[in-house]
């Protein structure tokens, strides 16, 4: 028995999906857990939970189902159309004085109780009127007939401006084309010069190849090198001959040594055959030497 305290948090992702996290501490130690709750239908729900106990180093998994009674839906009641209001005669708006200047006029009236009104009305300002419409200064001037000569002059002026702008555009385009032609001419000259340089280089390479292929007269240094090479070749031949002679002599020495060994073996066999019968077998001692 003991007190248990903790904290739980619920996060609603959607109307039918919810995540719950909890952390508690009690007599059995701390506990951390979480669960997902999913509403399959308004009356059926499923939850999958996971709990971890650090003290026991164990994990618990839970699967739960929940059933609930959904509230009954109330049938919508038909709305009754409101009764048509009685036609009310429009009130007559008193006509006030009309002023033809721009200066505002403030008019004050005393509120009186009319027989058709239920109470006094606020009549501080009179009816709204547009003074600018009635002001002589605000009226637009009368239209005067246009002069054909003036209209023609305006048309000619606009046409001349259009032509001037077109001429300026053509001149700028002509200058751009001239600059482009100059750049192309400079590029063409540079390419022609490069082609000429490459042709000259090719001719020099061909002349050098022809000069290399034609045999020339050897110099003193080349003759000295050829003489040294010939001497080295002769020395190498002499050394090879001496090595061959030494190899033959070594082979003859090896054969002679082999013959001497064979002769020595035959002599030892003959001596052993001649000495062995003269020794009496009964008087032999372990220390006797043949």
178, part of any domain: no
Backbone dihedral angles phi then psi of residue 219, each to the nearest 5 degrees: -95, -175
> Which of the listed ranges 46-55, 116-125, 277-286 does the model predict with the highest average pLDDT?
46-55
Q: Which residues contact 1 (CB under 8 A, 6 or more apart)?
A: 27
Residue 124: the pLDDT is 59
- Residues 25-35 have pLDDT tens digits of 888 788 899 99
Residue 290: the pLDDT is 41
Q: What is the mean pLDDT of the chain?
A: 77
> Region 178-193: what's the mean pLDDT?
92
171, part of any domain: no
Are the CB atoms for 49 and 35 separated by under 8 Å? yes
- Residues 193-204 have pLDDT tens digits of 999 999 999 898
- Residues 36-72 have pLDDT tens digits of 888 888 888 899 999 988 888 888 899 998 888 766 6
236, part of any domain: no
> Region 171-181: what's the mean pLDDT?
91
Q: Which residues contact 37 (CB under 8 A, 6 or more apart)?
A: 17, 18, 19, 20, 45, 46, 47
Q: Is the pLDDT of residue 97 over 50?
A: yes
CA torsion, ordered 49, 53, 56, 58, to nearest 10 deg? 30
Residue 7: the pLDDT is 92
267, part of any domain: no
**CA 251 and chain centroid, separation:** 81
14, part of any domain: yes
Q: What domain range includes position 31?
A: 5-67
**Who wins on pLDDT, 180 or 276?**
180
Confidence of residue 269 (pLDDT cuts 50, 70, 90): confident
Domain total of the chain:
1
Six token digits for residue 6: 């903790």
Residue 82: the pLDDT is 61
Residue 183: the pLDDT is 92
Are the CB atoms for 17 and 38 separated by under 8 Å? yes
pTM of the predicted structure, to 2 decimals: 0.26
Confidence of residue 126 (pLDDT cuts 50, 70, 90): low
38, part of any domain: yes
20, part of any domain: yes
42, part of any domain: yes
Q: Is the pLDDT of residue 175 over 70?
A: yes
Residue 272: the pLDDT is 81
**Who wins on pLDDT, 126 or 208?**
208
Are the CB atoms for 43 and 70 separated by under 8 Å? yes
Q: Which residues contact 250 (CB under 8 A, 6 or more apart)?
A: none
């Amino acid at each position: 028995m003991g007190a248990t305290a903790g904290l739980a948090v619920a996060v609603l992702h959607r109307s039918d999906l919810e995540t719950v996290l909890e952390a508690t501490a009690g007599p059995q130690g701390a506990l951390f857990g979480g669960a997902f709750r999913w509403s399959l239908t308004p009356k059926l729900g499923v939850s999958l939970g996971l709990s971890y106990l650090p003290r026991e180093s164990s994990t618990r998994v839970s699967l739960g189902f929940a059933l609930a009674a959904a509230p009954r839906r109330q049938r919508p009641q038909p709305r009754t159309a409101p009764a048509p209001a009685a036609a009310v005669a429009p009130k007559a708006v008193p006509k006030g004085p009309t002023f033809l200047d721009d200066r505002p006029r403030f008019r004050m009236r005393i509120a009186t109780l009319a027989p058709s009104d239920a109470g006094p009305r606020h009549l501080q300002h009179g009816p709204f009127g547009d003074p600018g419409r009635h002001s002589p200064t605000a009226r637009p001037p009368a239209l005067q007939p246009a002069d054909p000569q003036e209209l023609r002059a305006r048309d000619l002026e606009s046409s001349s401006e259009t032509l001037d702008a077109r001429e300026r555009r053509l001149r700028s385009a002509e200058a751009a084309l001239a600059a482009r032609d100059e750049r192309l001419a400079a590029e063409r000259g540079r390419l022609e010069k490069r082609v000429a340089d490459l042709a000259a280089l090719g001719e020099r390479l061909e002349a050098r190849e022809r000069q290399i292929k034609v045999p020339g007269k050897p110099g003193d240094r080349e003759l000295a090198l050829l003489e040294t090479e010939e001497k080295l070749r002769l020395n190498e031949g002499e050394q090879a001959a001496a090595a061959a002679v030494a190899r033959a002599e070594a082979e003859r020495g090896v054969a002679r040594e082999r013959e001497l060994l064979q002769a020595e073996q035959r002599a030892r066999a003959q001596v052993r055959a001649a000495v062995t019968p003269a020794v009496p077998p009964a008087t032999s001692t372990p220390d006797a030497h043949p």
